[in-house]
Amino acid sequence: NAGVTQTPKFQVLKTGQSMTLQCAQDMNHNSMYWYRQDPGMGLRLIYYSASEGTTDKGEVPNGYNVSRLNKREFSLRLESAAPSQTSVYFCASSDRFMNYGYTFGSGTRLTVV
Amino acid sequence: AQTVTQSQPEMSVQEAETVTLSCTYDTSENNYYLFWYKQPPSRQMILVIRQEAYKQQNATENRFSVNFQKAAKSFSLKISDSQLGDTAMYFCAFMKPAYSGAGSYQLTFGKGTKLSVIP
């Protein structure tokens, strides 16, 4: 099915471990995003990529890095996980010229112990 | 920077009744887009309805409609004939249009309203 695919769906990390969340879209969208969702906080933008070859910080970028590997793929890396990074992470994509909103992946629930 | 406020953390409604979820936003932009997203327990984010600020007519999608008051910066969601499947978190979101400079095509979300539909 067309859409945004995120892997993994669940992950438990120990403090200090690193990991990469993968995201791929097959809708030929230009823009891709990483959000985190915490209880009572809504969704907050971590990083985004307006187009292939560009990435920019969002509201809460500290502790994260991203790579726009190609037009389809946008990964989020935690270099040294901390308990404060326990959250649900969403990847999304959009056609920047159409303003039709985002298509979201199904999310990754990450727990850092 | 844009802000989106949802003042009702939780709401409940009887099945088949009508409920309205509130959303206000703050922006200096004249053209922009507003959205309501639904997040059921499955965690999936689902677009419910979309409104373009330059259109005066309120958007409608089946049982879902909005009351868009541009001057008041208000964007409420009305759900008619509520169904058990409407139980979810609902997020209001704001987007600047493309070519509007820094922050364009980024969605800014409110903190959400948890809606429970009671049988």
Residue type at A35 in one-letter notation? Y
Name the residue of chain B whose CA is nearest to A5's CA. B44
| CB pair distance less than 8 Å for A99 and B98 | yes
What integer pLDDT is reported at residue B96 of this predicted model?
A: 80
CA distance A91 to chain B (A): 11
Name the residue of chain B whose CA is nearest to A50's CA. B105
What integer pLDDT is reported at residue A99 of this predicted model?
A: 63
Q: What is the pLDDT of residues A48-107, one digit of tens each?
A: 998 888 999 999 999 999 999 899 999 999 999 999 999 999 999 988 666 677 899 999
Q: What is the pLDDT of residues B52-72, one digit of tens each?
A: 998 889 999 999 999 999 999
* Cross-strand pairs, A38: A42
Q: Collect the ranges in chain B with pLDDT lower than 70.
A: 98-105
Residue B46 to residues A14, A96, B35, B102, Cα–Cα distance (Å): 32, 19, 11, 26
Residue type at B102 in one-letter notation? A
Name the residue of chain B whose CA is nearest to A41's CA. B111
Which helix (H) or strand (E) element contains residue A36? Answer: strand A31-38
- Three-class DSSP category at B85: helix
What integer pLDDT is reported at residue B98 of this predicted model?
A: 62
What integer pLDDT is reported at residue B31 of this predicted model?
A: 86
Residue B95 to residues A50, B30, B110, Cα–Cα distance (Å): 14, 12, 12
Residues of A whose CB is below 8 A from B42: 106
Torsional sign, CA B20, B26, B31, B37: negative
